């Protein structure tokens, strides 16, 4: 471009010379015409004036052209500075038609293209950020120097304000295993898998760190707390079942071996041993039955046949059907009153619930001499209660007794034929009804097991005929 400007100025200079030559030519003719009378002084003065006139005409023209060109160059420089500073909306105005015009057009086009490309990149970046933010996994990108380059919303929730671009990863997250994994991926340029358990309280993450072609690394953290807890619970469950089965099995095996090895066991001993074997076999039978019941109510396929049922009838049916097992115990099963409100319930499942609760009261609260079963309306629910007046349950056990295999007194539970699964089954059934269950007790003052069932929708409330509620024993 500068050479073109140079050529242009050179052209102007040549023009000036041609102009000067022309003037000299005219003067020369005048000199020849006046040669006789003229003198060399005259020639010198004429030459001087002609030069001065030529200069006086050419100089402003040259200055005007140079000023115009330098002005346009200045605008191009200004434009380049704005583009370099990131202002891609800058454009050069069309000021004429010469050698600089195509250059100005090309520069305008380039700025427009870069602007479009950057807008596309920016929209792609925003889409990517939204996608990464909506992921369930936490994602962090680190530079080759181990500084946080970017992190998604999940990661920011986990690490809080500690994590931000430009901060070193070591100061952003403190989990040693995660940091070791990141270091290994950055230094050895290979994939690293690990586990972070101190990143957030009570949470466990599976960590995958992959080196990036740019030299940094990308870390993906997957929350496996739920999976871990489920696996742990499964391990505990299997261990508990094995333990519960092993005890009666060992006993059966021992007595059978004794009977086989004893050449002539007396009828008394044989009877006693067979009695023990039967007791243990029944225990195993109860356990398998409870395990099957638990598996059924815990299964996602567990279906209740819900129907609008009167609370008072549910309570009375429970008392009637379980009255038999109470007869010889010397304990009174009392009806504590119940409303006629309709609740959505599966009658068979309710028999299972009341059966387990009343059986427990019979087993663990004999001393109380009576068990009261009743219900009351509470807002949009009906609250059912099985209350005994036995030794009660210490507060630290109240929540845990609904866990599988949890027993306050293992020996006593086993002695009375318990499996430790009854309340877990009850809890699942109540939850499947959309209700809640809890226990209230004070040591020495008996225990109350309460559960709620939602009231039937208003349009069903008028359905069955009224049955008067009354006390029963
Ligand atoms: N009415 C009650 N009074 C005192 N303790 C109770 C009562 N009901 C339940 N428990 C305690 O809760 C534990 C769990 O009950 P459950 O799941 O039915 O198992 P199981 O009856 O087989 O022992 C029992 O072992 C017992 O310690
Ligand atoms: Mg029980």
Q: Based on the fold, state whether residues 45 and 99 are members of the same structural domain.
A: yes
Q: Decide: 219 and 142 in contact? Cβ < 8 Å.
A: yes
Q: Biggest alpha carbon distance in the chain?
A: 177
What is the 423 CA–ligand 2 centroid distance (Å)? Answer: 6
Which residue is associated with the tokens 């003052």? 445
Q: Compute how many other C-beta atoms are within 10 angstroms of the C-beta atom of residue 379.
A: 9
Query: Which of 188, 205, 223 is the C-terminal boundary of a domain?
Result: 223
Specify whether 335 is located in the same domain as 451: yes
Q: Using the mean position of ligand 2's atoms as its centre, give its distance from the Cα of residue 232 in Å.
A: 24
Of the ligands numbered here, which is closest to the C-alpha atom of 427? 1
List the alpha helices (DSSP H) in 262-400. 267-298, 311-326, 347-364
Q: Which residue in this structure is represented by tokens 């046949």?
A: 305
Choose one of 257, 277, 298: the last residue of a domain: 298
210 and 78 assigned to the same domain: no
* Measured CA angle at 185 (ends 182, 186), to 5 deg: 85
pLDDT of residue 463: 46
Ranges in the chain, pLDDT < 70: 1-7, 9-10, 13, 27-28, 31-44, 47, 458-473
For residue 117, tell me if it sits in a domain: no
* Per-residue model confidence (pLDDT) at position 90: 86
| Ligand 2 ion: nearby residues, β-carbon < 5 Å | 360, 422
According to DSSP, the residues that pair with 223 across neighbouring strands are 205
Q: Determine the pLDDT at residue 97.
A: 78
Mutate to test the pocket of ligand 1, among 291, 360, 414, 430 (most ligand atoms within 8 A of CB): 360
CA 450 / ligand 1 centre spacing (Å): 14
To test the ligand 1 pocket, which listed residue (387, 401, 424, 445) has its Cβ within 8 A of the most ligand atoms?
401
The reply to whether 401 and 290 lie within a common domain is no
Ranges assigned E (strand) in 363-424: 370-378, 381-388
CATH number at residue 281: 1.10.287.130
Atom of ligand 1 nearest to the CA of 424: 17
| pLDDT at residue 89, as a whole number | 86
Order of all β-strands in the sheet with 437-441: 332-335, 370-378, 381-388, 447-454, 437-441
Neighbours of 71 (CB within 10 A): 11
Residue ranges making up the domain that contains 34 = 2-111
Would residue 360 count as lying in a domain? yes
- Tokens linked to 183: 């270091």
Whole-Å CA distances, 319 to 46, 212, 330, 334, 358: 143, 70, 15, 8, 9
Answer yes or no: is 465 within a domain: no
Q: CA 164, CA 225: separation in Å to the nearest integer? A: 25
* 293-325 burial: b if 16+ Cβ within 10 Å, else e: bbeebeeeeeebebebbbbbbbbbbbbeebeee
Task: Please enumerate in sequence order all residues whose Cβ is within 8 A of that of 70, keeping only pairs 6 or more positions apart, or say none.
Answer: none
- Assessment of whether the complete model's pTM goes beyond 0.75: no
Nearest residue (by CA) to ligand 1, atom 9, is: 360
Residue 364: nearest ligand to its CA? 1
Q: What is the distance in A from the centroid of ligand 1 to the CA of 118? A: 69
Ligand 1 centroid vs 363 CA: distance in angstroms?
8
CA of 428, nearest ligand number = 1
Q: Which of 298, 330, 352 is the last residue of a domain?
A: 298
d(CA 333, CA 130): 62
Find the residues whose C-beta lies inside 6 A of ligand 1.
356, 360-361, 364-365, 388, 390, 393, 401, 407-409, 413, 418-424, 447
User: Is there a single domain that holds both residue 311 and residue 453?
Assistant: yes
Tell me if 118 sits within 8 A of 160, measured CB to CB.
no
CB-count burial class (<10 Å; 0-12, 13-18, 19+) for 219:
buried
Does a structural domain hold residue 433?
yes
Q: Report how many domains make up the chain.
A: 4
Return the residue whose CA atom lies nearest to atom 1 of ligand 1. 361
Q: How far is CA 207 from the centre of its chain?
A: 15
């Amino acid at each position: 471009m500068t050479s073109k400007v140079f050529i242009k100025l050179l052209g102007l200079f040549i023009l000036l010379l041609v102009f000067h030559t022309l003037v000299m030519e005219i003067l020369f003719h005048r000199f020849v015409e006046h040669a006789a009378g003229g003198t060399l002084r005259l020639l010198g003065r004429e030459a001087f004036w002609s030069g001065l006139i030529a200069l006086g005409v050419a100089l402003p023209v040259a200055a005007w052209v140079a000023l115009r060109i330098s002005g346009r160059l200045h605008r191009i420089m200004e434009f380049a500075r704005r583009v370099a500073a990131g202002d891609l909306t800058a454009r050069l105005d069309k000021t004429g038609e010469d050698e600089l015009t195509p250059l100005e057009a090309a520069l305008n086009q380039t700025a427009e293209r870069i602007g479009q490309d950057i807008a596309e990149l920016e929209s792609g970046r925003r889409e990517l950020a939204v996608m990464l933010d909506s992921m369930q996994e936490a994602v962090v990108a680190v530079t080759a120097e181990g500084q946080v380059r970017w992190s998604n919303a999940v990661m920011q929730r986990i690490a809080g304000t500690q994590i931000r671009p430009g901060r070193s990863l070591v100061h952003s997250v403190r989990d040693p295993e995660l940091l070791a994994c990141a270091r290994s991926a950055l230094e050895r340029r290979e994939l690293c898998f690990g586990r972070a358990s101190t990143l957030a309280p009570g949470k466990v993450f599976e960590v995958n760190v992959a080196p990036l072609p740019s030299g940094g690394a990308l870390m993906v953290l997957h929350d496996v707390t739920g999976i871990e807890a489920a696996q742990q619970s499964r391990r505990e469950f299997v261990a508990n079942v094995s333990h519960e089965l092993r005890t009666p099995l060992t006993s059966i095996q021992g007595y059978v071996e004794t009977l086989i090895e004893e050449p002539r066991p007396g009828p008394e001993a044989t009877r006693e041993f067979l009695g023990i074997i039967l007791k243990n076999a029944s225990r195993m039978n109860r356990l398998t039955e409870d395990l099957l019941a638990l598996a059924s109510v815990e299964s996602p396929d567990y279906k209740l046949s819900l129907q609008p049922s009167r609370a008072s009838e549910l309570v009375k049916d429970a008392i009637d059907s379980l009255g038999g097992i109470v007869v010889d115990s010397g304990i009174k099963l009392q009806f504590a009153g119940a409303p006629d409100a309709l609740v959505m319930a599966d009658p068979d499942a309710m028999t299972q619930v009341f059966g387990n609760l009343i059986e427990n009261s019979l087993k663990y609260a004999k001393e109380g001499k009576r068990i009261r079963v009743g219900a009351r309306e509470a807002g949009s629910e009906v609250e059912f209660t099985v209350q005994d007046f036995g030794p009660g349950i210490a507060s630290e056990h109240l929540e845990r007794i609904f866990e599988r295999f949890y027993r306050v007194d293992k020996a006593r539970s086993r002695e009375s034929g318990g499996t430790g699964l009854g309340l877990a089954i009850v809890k699942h059934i109540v939850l499947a009804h959309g209700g809640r269950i809890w226990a209230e007790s004070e040591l020495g003052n008996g225990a109350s097991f309460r559960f709620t069932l939602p009231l039937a929708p208003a349009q069903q409330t008028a359905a069955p005929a009224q049955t008067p509620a009354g006390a029963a024993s």
